[in-house]
Structure 1
Amino acid sequence: MNGVQILLIVGAGIAITAVARRRGVEPGLIVVVLAAAASFLPWMPKLELDSELILAIVVPPLLYSAARVAAFTGFGANLRPIVHLGVVLVVLTTFALGFVASWALPSLGGVAFVLGAVLAPPDTITTVTHGERIGLPGRVRSILIGESLVNDATALTLFSITLLAVDGGHATIAGGITQFAYKLTVGVLVGGAFAAATLAVRKRLGNTTLETTLVLLLPFTVYLAAEEVHASGIIAVVVASFTVTANMTLDPAHRYPGAHLTRIQEKSVWAVVDFLLETFVFAYIGLRLRFVLAEQEDLAAVLLASGVLLVAAIALRLVGVYALFGRWALSLRLAGRSPRKRERARRREARTSGRRRRRPRLGAPTAKENLLVGWTGMRGILTLAAASAVPESVPGRDAVQAVALLVTLGTLLIQAPTIGPLARALDFDVREERAATGRMRERAEALVRRHEGFDAQRQALGAAVRDGDLDEELARDLIEEIDVRQAAAEPGPRH
């Protein structure tokens, strides 16, 4: 794929997106469908990027941008469902789809479990991006954002372990756990170290263009650095994004003259980056269809196996969500009946009563939330990148790539256009959620009015978040408004 082809793809994506939005249709879905159809044109060249290039160029900025809008408090409040979906369910899905693949395509042998790891992680970033518009409740959005930040790391670790096993290496469960722990721990350390360095450098640059450029380079740099030491580049990117964004917005120690201009510029820049990458990803998925199918020796078997695995992937997520969250709900009910556990909870509450206000513990998701979360199982660019990363020496590589592409397309065509209607059909009652947000916003605006000076207002909002009196997402929205007011009141070049 050359530069001209990439530019033509993005240009066509812009035109398609403009038309789709006027008609209220999801642009990504239209881009995928039209690109898949265009792949069968006789003059269409074969488009293929190196998998390492996709993982290093496309995935890091998309993850960084998704983590920018994620609230750390929301991540912590929903940690249990996030771990259930992003770790436990991905592991279970890998082995379940591996068994299904070995039955549907017996010729794969042990490579079936590599395919299971490739198909395991859903791509919920796009769903979350449009979550409020399609009617997702706030908690569902928080869970899906958190899942999208950890499930890729789990899947890539499983992918490397299964690939090692079929490519002549020695892989064990204990070794896999050790490898995952190493990747996670070192990834966190690398991400934190690069974030700290970025925060220290950017406030000394004194120029919005340079500061924004530094942050744009961060996801690529931290990803490659982590991968160089065999850690999780994805976890490193997520940690870096969380750290830089939260500190730049809420921590007064990392505020400096002109920082508000940088935040305003970064928001616009990341919106453009997201659009360009998402448009390219959807087009790339569709444009590869004809060429991947043409490489199959037994196309009928691959198509049949893809259909079976598509149904299995959708069903396994639904069953897994209900099973994991249902078990959680059952444990909460049993805990409520246990005098010992009630007493333990009372003592814990007494110990924390004198400290800063903490959010109440969230219960298990409701049945309607389970259904909506279970239906958001579209596969995306990580699935295709991992499939492309299977070495040519591994038997069945072409079949793995074809199944990965077909399952990804199938989930995009079946689940993506139906999430919005499903959310509306479930008729979530978000009136109290919106009313509570409105009341909290009124209190926060009153807090802002009691302070003079833009920095004092931002500092008051940050303190309210740390004390548990204000939601982090709402505080960020109000800080954005303060930034805009300050930019209007204090115009000055920092470019």
Structure 2
Amino acid sequence: MALFENMLVLMLVAIIFLQLSRKLAVPYPTMLAVAGVIVASLPWAPEISIDPHLAMALFIAPALLDAAYDLPPRTIRRDWLPLLSLAVWVVILTTAAVAWIGVSLGGLPLAAAIALGAIVAPPDAAAAAAMLGRFALPRRAVAILQGESLLNDAVSLLIFSAAVGVAMGAASLTSLAPQLIIAVPGGVLVGMVLAGISMLFSSRLSGTLGGTLFEFVAVFGTWIIAERLHLSAILAVVAFAMTIAHYVPARQAPRTRLHSYSVWQASVFLLNVLAFLLMGLQARTIIRDLDPQELSFALSFAAAVFLTVVVVRIAWVFAYNRLMHYFQPTQSRFPRPTLRMSMVVSWCGMRGLVTLATALALPDNFPSRELIVLSALAVVLGSLIVQGLTLGPLIRLLGFEPDKSLEKDLARARLTLIDTAISELNARDDQAAASLREFYKEERVLVADGHHPRAISKTDQLRLTLIAAKRTKLNAMRHSGAIDDDVFHALEQDLDFAELAASPPEKLEIIDG
């Protein structure tokens, strides 16, 4: 009951803070981190621990699903060089640098130091995306940053799993290579196979609450099955999500898709809240149990880890910038990164859910666990507060030219779709077809002028006005007793779908926070 009560308090505090984050243009994970620390520091907050295996499955699987679903394979093929630079080399260099700090300054065993490096290595795309979405930055750069979040999670988690296995005596360096040779491709294959099986069942459950619940069973089941087979659960979920994302949208009904997106978005957000609360509670216990001298050393070590994480990313991003300008031809499939864009990318290193979850996944008897957990929390809080609060001002200071390519691509695609609809209607000459032809012609003129048809279409504005009048009358009929509630709810749903159909897309989106 204590955990549930504190979860409610944290959610309430988070909701209040998230309203401030939108007004102050601050990434919502920054406010969430602050809220988690505040609630964890309350005197009545309980002492709670979580099973390491549960922490990995509960927090990591949805985070990987969320990132992998939005990363098409063609993005990886197109931008493999910058993605390799950010998702592989930065993770490896950060892990190595932090491991050196852990061994030389913290006195950690090598495997434990590598585990710490892997924990703090992967940035969280959600924090950066929450801020980058407010600015018209180059689309390709934003896509690379989002792709980085998935691939660096996979790389860092593989290193983390190997390091934990060695530190706990469950594996040795000589046995890791053969295991990875089987676990990596095996995990990918299992994820793709389970995605195919999942699609067979989900098509039968489409549009039902059971279908939504089955999505959770499929995602977490993929993780568990891969683990039982001693394969990479991380890559299994990534392969599962990318396969689903490629095939399911064309087969999914709009209502089912909107419902699924909203449920998963709320679930991932709730898991973020829970992760910050659990991490804050563990850090409070650690700080309370340390004597002043040990606490001073732990905080100094955590600060050194945070500085190392920040400096390594900045150094590598600018080194990559210079290497690309030196070796890359002017005309190339990989455009040379500008100095301004490199500054933004180097500062988009906020850590979040994956770092918290991997720290929580450390076994209770792991070497120097308290120091690692405290350092991980310090990196998350430091990056979200220092970098999260300064990323927006940095972007404004650099003065990027607005990237209008998305609007242009949308306009071209909309014209193609409208022309397709008009060509279908030309085969008919009834009154309904004539009415729709006039509607699409109005839309085509608006789109050709660079406007969104739903934003200013007179037809849709009139539809929304009439729907509002119908809704007022429907509410009056319900309150007067002219209709029963079952009739009211059926007609309310009809009006809801009609209003969604006549509304601009931004009205359909659920805003973070």
Q: TM-score, normalised by structure 1?
A: 0.77
Match for residue 340 of structure 1?
A: none
Distance in 1 separating the partners of 2:140 and 2:119? 28
Match for residue 196 of structure 1?
A: 196
Identify which of 241, 264, 270 aligns with 1:270.
Answer: 264
Equivalent residues in 2 for 1:32-111, closer than 5 Å: 32-106=33-107, 108=109, 111=112
Question: Structure 2 vs 1, CA of residues 95 and 239 (structure 1 numbering), >3 Å: closer, same or farther?
Answer: same
Distance in 2 separating the partners of 1:103 and 1:235? 33
Identify which of 382, 386, 396 aligns with 1:424.
Answer: 396
Equivalent residues in 2 for 1:128-167, closer than 5 Å: 128-167=129-168
Match for residue 352 of structure 1?
A: none
Matched, 1:384 2:356: yes
Gaps of 5+ in 1: 337-359, 454-473, 475-483
Match for residue 261 of structure 1?
A: 255
Given that 2:69 and 2:241 are in contact with CA atoms closer than 8 Å, whether structure 1 keeps it comes out as yes
Of stretches 201-210 and 416-425 in structure 1, the one that deviates more from structure 2 is 201-210
Deviation at 1:438, TM superposition (A): 4.7
Match for residue 323 of structure 1?
A: 319
Gaps of 5+ in 2: 426-451, 453-493, 502-513
Given that 2:95 and 2:117 are in contact with CA atoms closer than 8 Å, whether structure 1 keeps it comes out as yes
Deviation at 1:311, TM superposition (A): 0.7
Equivalent residues in 2 for 1:62-461, closer than 5 Å: 62-106=63-107, 108=109, 111-168=112-169, 171-172=172-173, 176-250=176-250, 255=251, 259-296=253-290, 298-333=294-329, 361-434=333-406, 436-450=408-422, 452=424
Deviation at 1:26, TM superposition (A): 3.6
Matched, 1:8 2:6: no
Question: Structure 2 vs 1, CA of residues 181 and 381 (structure 1 numbering), >3 Å: closer, same or farther?
Answer: farther
Distance in 2 separating the partners of 1:424 and 1:175? 50
Given that 1:190 and 1:226 are in contact with CA atoms closer than 8 Å, whether structure 2 keeps it comes out as yes
Secondary structure in structure 1 of the residue aligned to 2:204: coil
Secondary structure in structure 1 of the residue aligned to 2:248: helix
Match for residue 357 of structure 1?
A: none
Distance in 2 separating the partners of 1:69 and 1:452? 32
Distance in 1 separating the partners of 2:144 and 2:15? 30
Question: Structure 2 vs 1, CA of residues 35 and 439 (structure 1 numbering), >3 Å: closer, same or farther?
Answer: closer
Deviations 1:436-493 (A, max 9, x none): 435434443444434549xxxxxxxxxxxxxxxxxxxx9xxxxxxxxx99964999xx
Q: Which amino acid letter does the alignment assign opposite residue 166 of structure 2? A: A
Distance in 1 separating the partners of 2:55 and 2:169? 26
Match for residue 339 of structure 1?
A: none
Secondary structure in structure 2 of the residue aligned to 1:194: helix
Question: Structure 2 vs 1, CA of residues 192 and 168 (structure 1 numbering), >3 Å: closer, same or farther?
Answer: closer
Match for residue 506 of structure 2?
A: none
Distance in 1 separating the partners of 2:208 and 2:74? 28
Secondary structure in structure 1 of the residue aligned to 2:329: helix
Question: Structure 2 vs 1, CA of residues 135 and 77 (structure 1 numbering), >3 Å: closer, same or farther?
Answer: same
Deviation at 1:35, TM superposition (A): 3.0
Q: Which amino acid letter does the alignment assign opposite residue 430 of structure 1? A: P
Distance in 2 separating the partners of 1:175 and 1:430? 51
Given that 2:95 and 2:121 are in contact with CA atoms closer than 8 Å, whether structure 1 keeps it comes out as yes
Q: Which amino acid letter does the alignment assign opposite residue 266 of structure 1? A: S
Deviation at 1:307, TM superposition (A): 1.0
Deviation at 1:177, TM superposition (A): 5.0
Deviations 1:58-105 (A, max 9, x none): 221232123333344333322222222222221222112111222221
Q: Which amino acid letter does the alignment assign opposite residue 94 of structure 1? A: T
Deviation at 1:313, TM superposition (A): 0.4
Q: Which amino acid letter does the alignment assign opposite residue 137 of structure 1? A: P
Deviation at 1:178, TM superposition (A): 4.7
Given that 1:135 and 1:423 are in contact with CA atoms closer than 8 Å, whether structure 2 keeps it comes out as no
Match for residue 443 of structure 2?
A: none
Distance in 2 separating the partners of 1:235 and 1:127? 23
Larger radius of gyration: 2
Deviations 1:330-364 (A, max 9, x none): 33239x7xxxxxxxxxxxxxxxxxxxxxxx83324
Given that 1:32 and 1:285 are in contact with CA atoms closer than 8 Å, whether structure 2 keeps it comes out as no
Deviation at 1:20, TM superposition (A): 4.0
Question: Structure 2 vs 1, CA of residues 2 and 299 (structure 1 numbering), >3 Å: closer, same or farther?
Answer: same
Distance in 2 separating the partners of 1:417 and 1:393? 36
Q: TM-score, normalised by structure 2?
A: 0.75
Given that 2:17 and 2:35 are in contact with CA atoms closer than 8 Å, whether structure 1 keeps it comes out as no
Deviations 1:15-69 (A, max 9, x none): 4324543554444322322432343333332243333222111221232123333
Of stretches 107-116 and 58-67 in structure 1, the one that deviates more from structure 2 is 107-116
Distance in 1 separating the partners of 2:500 and 2:126? 36
Given that 2:321 and 2:336 are in contact with CA atoms closer than 8 Å, whether structure 1 keeps it comes out as yes
Q: CA RMSD in A?
A: 3.3
Question: Structure 2 vs 1, CA of residues 447 and 274 (structure 1 numbering), >3 Å: closer, same or farther?
Answer: farther
Q: Which amino acid letter does the alignment assign opposite residue 323 of structure 2? A: R
Given that 1:97 and 1:312 are in contact with CA atoms closer than 8 Å, whether structure 2 keeps it comes out as yes
Question: Structure 2 vs 1, CA of residues 391 and 202 (structure 1 numbering), >3 Å: closer, same or farther?
Answer: closer
Deviation at 1:287, TM superposition (A): 4.3
Q: Which amino acid letter does the alignment assign opposite residue 56 of structure 2? A: L
Secondary structure in structure 2 of the residue aligned to 1:203: helix
Secondary structure in structure 1 of the residue aligned to 2:333: coil
Deviation at 1:137, TM superposition (A): 2.9
Deviation at 1:265, TM superposition (A): 1.7
Given that 1:157 and 1:180 are in contact with CA atoms closer than 8 Å, whether structure 2 keeps it comes out as no
Deviations 1:223-259 (A, max 9, x none): 1222222222222222222221221224xxxx37xx2
Deviation at 1:220, TM superposition (A): 1.1
Distance in 2 separating the partners of 1:392 and 1:438? 51
Distance in 2 separating the partners of 1:117 and 1:490? 44
Deviations 1:202-226 (A, max 9, x none): 2223533333222233221111222
Deviation at 1:293, TM superposition (A): 1.7
Given that 2:47 and 2:282 are in contact with CA atoms closer than 8 Å, whether structure 1 keeps it comes out as yes
Secondary structure in structure 2 of the residue aligned to 1:106: coil
Secondary structure in structure 1 of the residue aligned to 2:117: helix
